[in-house]
Chain A
Amino acid sequence: MSPSVRLQEMIRVIRSARTQGEERGVIQRECAAIRAQFRQADNGGRSHNLAKLLYVHMLGYPAHFGQMECVRLIASPRYNEKRVGYLGAMMLLDENQDASLLITNSIKNDLAHSSQYVQSLALCTLACMGSAEMCRDLAPEIDRLLRASSSYIKKKATLCAVHIVRKVPELGELFTPAARALLAEKNHGVLHGAVILITELCERNAQTLVQFREAVPELVHIMRGLVTSGYSPEHTVAGISDPFLQVRILRLLRILGRNNDTASDAMNDLLAQVATNTDSSKTAGSAVLYETVLTVMDIKSESGLRVLAVNILGRFLLNNDRNIRYISMTSLQKIVSTDHNAVQRHRGTIVDCLKDQDASVKRRALELSLALVSAINIRSMMKELLLFLSTCPPELKSHAASVTVIPLRQAGADVRDETVPNLIQLITNASQLHCYTVHKLYRALVADISQQPLVQVACWCIGEYGDSLLQGDCEETEPIQVTEDDILDALETVLQSHMSSPATRGFALTATMKLSTRITENVDRIRSIVSIYGSCMDVELQQRAVEYNALFKKYDHMRAAVLEKMPVMDRSSMGQTNGESGGGGVQELEPTKPKQPEMMVAPQPASQVGGGEGGGGHGF
């Protein structure tokens, strides 16, 4: 039986084991046999024994006793044994193992071997697991091989140099001249490696970066050649000429053009050419376009080119391939702060992606939508976002809580008057979101009370859903211990702050009042807050305080009914309110008929309190 069949036979036996225990037994026997074989002298089957051990290692069993065998096999003159030895070294030895140093000498010898296949084994292994010390030892050898005549060796040596530079950045200087010369290579494999090497050198050394900026015209020339070249059986993938090389060159150009006008100018036309001529119907072309967009956005490109890049991303959003939609969104997310207006143009498509099947795409769309909310579009955006929340998968709900806070924070104080009541209506109607909405808004309120719209919505929600806040645990946010005192402190801070507008204080006072039916212990505190404002200078606040006081004293039996939770608001009635009296919120500011506590606490069933004249009006 030839040795290789023994390996495959062992695999077959292991696979046919019916239980984990049986498998362990088989493997223990095999390992014992392999150990014994290792101890024997050269028996012609060494490589196969090591291969068997490597298989066992892949199954998760310990194989460290094979390390010395790897060292021995690497030193063997037989090619097949060397090959398995090096494979073993790459799998079992890494730079943290002491045994790895022992192979340095073998690698050195093999790097100078007459057979390029042996040289290749050594190069591959060094690039895979070479430690810093080994790299320092062998760097001169690698530099010599960078000038070899064989492309086969050159391309491997180049990537080996890349590994060395990553491990020992100071050695970069050694490779810089050779790297520069390699740019003239015609062989794509070598050129590809050279571009990677130059990228590494430039990333680690600022002077080298300056030096290689002079190579930009050469890189542009190579790239142009690739883009305009016709079909080549060797390199064309889905109509794109060597996408791997194109992407690497684009990445290098990005590094060279960053923060440098001259270099960026030199590559401007090329980038425009790549952006317009690359066919993105398949992944290869999209990969090149994606890299082009990343480069354009990162260098000092002309505004026209930037708009072109953002439009490419916008087009990607409409692509059938969800991978492309996903990366388009991640890219838009990165640039939304710097190129906000350009991204806003694609807001419609982004919001549509909230309905995408793919959870990753949905999450990205949510983050991006939140970033795009502004004072102008807040109403329509909030509508879309809350609609999304009611149907979104559970793993996204934790992000969802930000949906209420971030738009308000971003829109700032500039929102139109009817925005606040509209948002409140939207929140009320999304009943399953009350819990974490109030948590999130409470946290935002505690952090900052300067943004009036945010404070108003927060006060309203705390008043309505304060009981959820006190319960503390809400599945979608981290648990937070909020006591009744904490909530009342927050509301009082709003009431007393000079930053709060009269309307805001109205919200806060009413919210405090509502809490009297939702909390149990601090009702006295509420009573005292309310009575203080009975002599407030602001007529509206005084009005309310007096009426609420009455609710505590004379009409205490009705207090619970009056302050019950608001029902779901009818959208059409909100619309009417907006038309008639300038919005539910604005109605807030019109003075109620003076000194008629009976109006508010008239013995009506609770449902009429909310559904009366429209939306949120007197219910507040």
Chain B
Amino acid sequence: MHFLLLFSRQGRLRLQKWFTPTPEREKKKIIRDMTAMVLARKPKTCNFLHWMDLKVVYKRYASLFFCLAIDDQENELLALEILHRYVELLDKYFGNVCELDIIFNFEKAYFILDEFLIGGEVQETSKQTVARCIERLSSLRNSCRRLRL
């Protein structure tokens, strides 16, 4: 995987995760290009695009577009499953997750992502295990805050 982007229908970025080192200016350009390309897609088209030498898999969930750029070797259908899994994890944590949850709790969205993917690969294939980890980390965070640790 090269990058994961979440953006709204108006093109505002809500989350960005880069799995390969990319200069800041190039990141901005990629975000602009991706947003433009994905937002221009008609509703009944397939979820795959080609951009440069990468395959881009995107899916819309409510008002957010989830966009994942993968290598030529990687499996697009599995990438769709990965996006779906991430959405399920967000949903489990926030309860009926919506875009505002991700806006106001963006750091938590990142923490959840970091329990699911590492270095551009899936680290845990069991949804329950990841959800349990996140819960544990959340309560750890709260207890640390209380104890000023």
Q: Which residues of A contact B (CB under 8 A)?
A: 8, 11-12, 15, 44, 51, 54-55, 58-60, 77-80, 83-84, 87, 91, 94-96, 117, 123-124, 127-129, 152, 155-156, 159-160, 162-163, 188-189, 192-193, 196, 233-235, 237, 242-245, 247, 251, 283-284, 286-287, 290-291, 294, 322-327, 357-361
Q: Pick the contact of B48: A15, A83, A247, A327 (CB < 8 A).
A: A327
List, sorted by A's number, 29 A–B pairs whose CB atoms are closer than 8 Å: A11-B103, A44-B148, A58-B15, A78-B144, A79-B140, A83-B111, A87-B110, A87-B111, A91-B16, A95-B21, A127-B118, A128-B118, A162-B121, A188-B126, A196-B121, A234-B126, A237-B81, A242-B125, A244-B78, A251-B75, A287-B78, A291-B75, A291-B78, A294-B75, A322-B45, A323-B47, A323-B48, A358-B44, A358-B46
Known: A58-B16, A156-B118, A193-B121. A79 touches B126 (CB 8 A): no
* Contact A247:B78 (CB < 8 A) given known A79-B149, A80-B145, A124-B118: yes
Q: Is the CB of A128 within 8 A of B80?
A: no
Q: Is the CB of B77 within 8 A of A94?
A: no
| Nearest 5 A/B pairs, CB to CB | A127-B119, A287-B77, A189-B124, A163-B119, A234-B126
B91: min CB distance to chain A, Å: 15
Using known A-B contacts A156-B118, A324-B77, determine if residue A128 contacts B19 with beta carbons closer than 8 Å: yes
Report Cα–Cα, A160/B118, bound state, in Å: 8
Given A322-B45, A323-B77, is A79 in contact with B121 using a C-beta cutoff of 8 Å? Answer: no
Given contacts A327-B77, A359-B45, contact A78 B149 (CB under 8 A): yes
Interface string of B75-117 (1 = CB under 8 A from A): 1111011101000000000000000000110110011001000
CA distance A245 to B118 in the complex (A): 15
B137 at the interface (CB under 8 A from A): yes
Q: Do B46 and A323 touch (CB < 8 A)? A: yes
Decide if A80 touches B124 in the complex (CB within 8 Å): no
B49: nearest chain-A partner, CB-CB: A360
| Contact of A188 with B77 in the complex, beta carbons under 8 Å | no
Q: Contact between A51 and B122 (Cβ–Cβ < 8 Å)?
A: no
Known A160-B118, A196-B121; further 7 A-B contacts with Cβ < 8 A: A11-B103, A124-B114, A128-B118, A163-B119, A188-B126, A189-B129, A360-B45
What CA separation (Å) do A87 and B105 show in the bound complex? 13
**Do B16 and A235 touch (CB < 8 A)?**
no
Contacts of A242 in B (CB 8 A): 125-126
Roughly how many angstroms separate A284 CA and B82 CA in the complex, as a whole number? 10
**Size bin of chain B's contact surface:** 35 or more
Distance in angstroms between the alpha carbons of A60 and B80 in the assembled complex: 27
Residues of B within 8 A of A152 (CB): 133
Most buried by A among B45, B78, B111, B127: B78
Q: How far is the CA of A25 from the CA of B133 in the complex (A)?
A: 40
With both beta carbons as reference points, the residue of chain B lying nearest to A163 in the complex is identified as: B119
CB-based contact B48/A360 at 8 Å? yes
Q: Are B22 and A156 in contact (CB under 8 A)?
A: no
Check B77 against A283 for contact (C-beta < 8 Å): yes
Please indicate the chain A residues that have their CB under 8 angstroms from the CB of B144 in the complex. 78-80
Inter-chain contact B123/A244, CB cutoff 8 Å = no
B123 touching A155, Cβ below 8 Å: yes
In the assembly, what is the distance between CA of A124 and CA of B125, in Å?
Answer: 17
Known contacts A44-B148, A323-B76, A360-B46; decide if A287 and B123 are in contact (CB<8 Å): no
User: Which of B1-56 touch A at CB < 8 Å?
Assistant: 13-16, 18-19, 21-23, 28, 42, 44-49
CB pair B78 A243 closer than 8 Å: yes
B-side contacts of A8, CB under 8 Å? 104
**A-B CB contacts (within 8 Å), total count:** 149
A234 touches B77 (CB 8 A): no
Residues of chain B with a CB closer than 8 A to A283's CB: 77, 80-81, 84
B47 cross-chain contacts in A, Cβ below 8 A = 323
- Kindly supply a per-residue 1/0 record for chain B positions 45-74, scoring 1 wherever the CB is within 8 Å of any chain A CB and 0 otherwise: 111110000000000000000000000010
| Least CB distance, B137 to chain A, in whole angstroms | 7
Question: How far is A497 from B65 in the complex, measured between Cα atoms in Å?
Answer: 59
Q: Report Cα–Cα, A127/B123, bound state, in Å.
A: 11
Q: Select which of A94, A117, A247, A357 is within 8 A of B75 by beta carbon.
A: A247
Taking a contact as CB atoms closer than 8 A, the residue among A12, A58, A235, A287 that contacts B126 in the complex is A235
> Chain B nearest CB: distance from A449 CB in Å?
35
**Residues in A neighbouring B80, C-beta threshold 8 A:** 283, 287, 323
Cα distance A96–B23 when bound, in Å? 8
Query: Which B123-145 residues sit within 8 Å CB-CB of chain A?
Result: 123-129, 133, 137, 140-141, 144-145
Interfacial chain A residues near B84, Cβ < 8 Å: 283
Decide: A94 and B21 in contact? CB cutoff 8 A: yes
Contact of A326 among B16, B48, B133 (CB under 8 A): B48
A7 to chain B, nearest CB (A): 8
- List, in ascending order, chain B residues with CB within 8 A of A290's CB: 75, 77
The reply to whether B77 and A58 contact each other, CB–CB distance below 8 Å, is no
Kindly list chain B residues whose C-beta atoms are within 8 Å of the C-beta of A80: 141, 144-145, 149
- B14 surroundings in chain A (CB, below 8 A): 58
Residues of A within 8 A of B45 (CB): 322, 357-360
Query: Chain A residues with Cβ under 8 A from B111's Cβ?
Result: 83, 87
A531, chain B: closest CB distance, angstroms: 55
Chain B: minimal CB distance from A89 (Å): 12
Distance (whole angstroms) from the CB of A46 to the closest CB of chain B = 12
Could you tell me the distance in whole angstroms from the C-beta of A44 to the nearest C-beta in chain B? 7
Residues of A near B133 (CB, < 8 A) are: 152
Looking at the assembled complex, report how far the CB atom of B68 sits from the nearest CB atom of chain A, in whole angstroms. Answer: 14
Q: Report which of B73, B107, B126 forms a contact with A54, defined as CB distance below 8 A.
A: B107
CB-CB under 8 A from A91, the residues of chain B are: 16
Contact yes or no, B119 A162, CB < 8 A: yes
Q: How far is A192 from B111 in the complex, measured between Cα atoms in Å?
A: 21
A245 x B125 contact (CB < 8 A): yes
A192 to B119, CA, bound (A): 14
Most buried by B among A54, A128, A129, A359: A128
Question: When chains A and B are docked, how far (Å) is the Cα of A326 from the Cα of B21?
Answer: 31
Within the complex, the shortest CB–CB distance from A162 to chain B, in Å, comes to: 6
Cβ–Cβ contact B123 & A189, under 8 A? yes
A159 touches B121 (CB 8 A): yes
Contacts of B126 in A (CB 8 A): 188-189, 234-235, 242
User: Given A51-B107, A58-B106, A159-B119, A326 and B46 touching (CB < 8 A)?
Assistant: yes
- Report the nearest A residue to B19, measured CB to CB: A128
A160 near B46 with CB under 8 A, answer no
The residue of chain B having its C-beta at the shortest distance from the C-beta of A200 within the complex is: B121
On chain A, the residues within 8 Å of B123 by CB distance are 155-156, 159, 189, 192-193
A96 CA to B25 CA in the complex, in Å?
A: 13
Q: Which residue of A lies closest to B79 (CB)?
A: A287
In the assembled complex, the CB of A5 is this many whole angstroms from the nearest CB of chain B, namely 10
- Chain B residues with Cβ under 8 A from A361's Cβ? 46
Instruction: Give the distance in Å from the alpha carbon of A286 to the alpha carbon of B126 in the complex.
Output: 19
Which residues of A lie under 8 Å from residue B128 when comparing CB positions? 233-234
Q: Which residues of A contact B44 (CB under 8 A)?
A: 322, 357-358
